[in-house]
Structure 1
Amino acid sequence: MPTLADVIAVLEAAYPPELAESWDAVGLVCGDPAEPVTKVLVCVDPVDATVDEALAQGAQLIVAHHPLLLRGVHGVPADTPKGSLVHRLVRGGAALLCMHTNADNAEPGVSDALAKALGLKITGPLVPETNSGRIGEVDPQPFAEFIDRVGIALPETAGGVRAAGELSRTIETVAVCGGSGDSFLDAATAAGVDAYVTADLRHHPASEHLAKPGAPALVDVAHWASEWPWCAQAAGVIEVAFDGTVDVTVSTLRTDPWTAAWATRRS
């Protein structure tokens, strides 16, 4: 029977910890590497809802994309939100493994999963130095049609999909970056793509980007939605390695923090 250590070894081979950014906190948060693992839940966020889901299913391991303890932590008392999760996991016999920027920078990684979900033919990384983001090709289509494509391909969220650019513009080459990607706006422009799909775009960087000659059109999606396709990729890594001896579930719970959106209007 595979142990937690066995599963960690397989995932770290796919998403090497050394690929993580220096500020990140990846790896095992809690759990005994010697304990057996027969059921795993893969999710984006280690939050109350996904911990509930894992414990209800009897999972011995949660594989999450986002870290639970990213900032400096000096204790995990049970009367704090994150400490409570750690105590619940330990009491329930479930481990937590976080694969964050190491999964972003791996090949294939988070952006590969996003590109695949959008039906892109990947041609290379957006930022070769760090292997961040991906560039891909799509059959020529108006930007309006491409926006619909993104909305259909990704899970529904309250905020939906926002876009900036001429709707009749022809889209053939696309850059993507799962998660917050406004730091790569210049890279997308330099790559000469027609559109850039990412999350968490802010007003000023987006406005300044669009004012530049040759800037690609922008598609802004929910952070959670942009990274959720990776869950199936990570689940596949485990399933292939253990060939039916480990049951893997991808969480479909929407853990995007936004619950509603309204368009502003004048009375």
Structure 2
Amino acid sequence: MSDITLGDLRRACEELWPAGTAEPWDRVGLVSGADGAPLRRVLLAVDAVEATVDEALRWRADALLTHHPLLLRGIHSVAEDTAKGALLARLIRGGCALFAAHTNADQPEGGVSAVLAERLGLARAEAIVPGAGPRPDEVFGIGRVGDLAAPATLRGFAERVARILPPTVSGVRVAGDPERSVSRIALLGGAGDSLLDHPAVRAADVYVTSDLRHHPAQESLELTAAAGGPALVDVAHWASESLWLEGAAEMLAERLPGAEFRVSALRTDPWTFAVGASAD
């Protein structure tokens, strides 16, 4: 029997994704569990929701490691008549710890945006917003911006994005001339309209991100029409962050041989179907 403990998992996660590099508003790290508890199985998922908690407990996982923190905003009760309280109680009763690696896992090499950039084949990718405290020779920070090996049409590039992401109801939405030639790509896994005005994004041919709202997207496109700037590619939030999980599991397995790491195959994108005609 393995003598690996939950404390070993915490130390491995701190090595990979230091909590001190998370955004000030974020809530990362151990949510529930004891360092001395044995660790044999860890399930990784984007979200701690009923489906992934069910999966973790059925598999008899000792920890559920998620990208999104369960207790991020204004939680004042974990009573079991609340959705989050009920999930947490089930995990505790099932002996399954809960751990989150969020914005601290967005920034490093092997992080959420870096994996997306690698899958898209971006060369010489740099952080859009460089972060503090990178390891030597490491690209570190929020988002990535780099170049395609060869120019593509916007439609062709969007189809490439769709191929690398798991399918979702919303798919890949695009704003821009489908025949526009693109080569300089900026991207941010997860919600990214806060960077629409960033100089590195404005200098790109395309900005790939999630959760773009109507007015910020519209204003960005009007600025592009007047003065140049990126086309927009909007992808499902869950899909853009799910690519990180496989590499995260591999890195943890290297550091904790003897423990088993599994990536949940469940889709936790909230949308289940869409109706209506295409805009084409």
What band does the TM-score fall into relative to the shorter chain?
A: over 0.9
Three-state SS of the structure 2 residue aligned to 1:197 is strand
> CA shift at 1:120, angstroms?
2.4
Q: Report what 1:248 is aligned to.
A: 261
Deviations 1:92-142 (CA, angstroms, capped at 9, x unpaired): 110000111111233332111221232323421011256100012212111
Correspondent of 1:133 among 128, 143, 155: 143
- Residue identity (%): 49
Q: Which amino acid aligns with 1:136?
A: G
Q: 1:38 and 2:44 equivalent?
A: no
Q: Which amino acid aligns with 2:276?
A: A
Correspondent of 2:229 among 189, 196, 215: 215
> CA shift at 1:73, angstroms?
2.2
Indicate if the aligned counterparts of 1:19 and 1:106 stay in contact, CA closer than 8 A: no
Q: 1:156 and 2:170 equivalent?
A: no
Q: Report what 2:65 is aligned to.
A: 63
The TM-score, its normalising length taken from structure 2, stands at: 0.90
Structure 2: give runs of 5+ residues left out of the alignment. 133-140
Supply the distance in 1 between the matched residues of 2:199 and 2:69 (Cα, whole angstroms): 27
Supply the distance in 2 between the matched residues of 1:190 and 1:47 (Cα, whole angstroms): 33
Q: Which amino acid aligns with 2:187?
A: V
Supply the distance in 1 between the matched residues of 2:79 and 2:211 (Cα, whole angstroms): 31
Change (3 A) 1:122 1:31: farther
Q: Which amino acid aligns with 1:204?
A: H
Runs of 4+ in 1 over 4 A off after TM superposition: 188-191
Supply the distance in 2 between the matched residues of 1:182 and 1:26 (Cα, whole angstroms): 22
Aligned residue pairs, count: 265
Supply the distance in 1 between the matched residues of 2:198 and 2:10 (Cα, whole angstroms): 33
Aligned alpha-carbon RMSD (Å): 1.7
Change (3 A) 1:15 1:258: same
Q: Report what 1:117 is aligned to.
A: 119
The TM-score, its normalising length taken from structure 1, stands at: 0.94
Deviations 1:177-220 (CA, angstroms, capped at 9, x unpaired): 01000011112655621111100001111111112222111100
Farther-moved stretch of structure 1 (169-178 vs 44-53): 169-178
Supply the distance in 1 between the matched residues of 2:123 and 2:202 (Cα, whole angstroms): 16
Q: Report what 1:199 is aligned to.
A: 210
Q: Report what 1:186 is aligned to.
A: 197
Supply the distance in 2 between the matched residues of 1:147 and 1:108 (Cα, whole angstroms): 23
Indicate if the aligned counterparts of 1:122 and 1:134 stay in contact, CA closer than 8 A: no
Supply the distance in 2 between the matched residues of 1:190 and 1:77 (Cα, whole angstroms): 43
Three-state SS of the structure 1 residue aligned to 2:90 is helix
Supply the distance in 2 between the matched residues of 1:17 and 1:39 (Cα, whole angstroms): 22
Q: Report what 1:8 is aligned to.
A: 10
Supply the distance in 2 between the matched residues of 1:20 and 1:54 (Cα, whole angstroms): 26
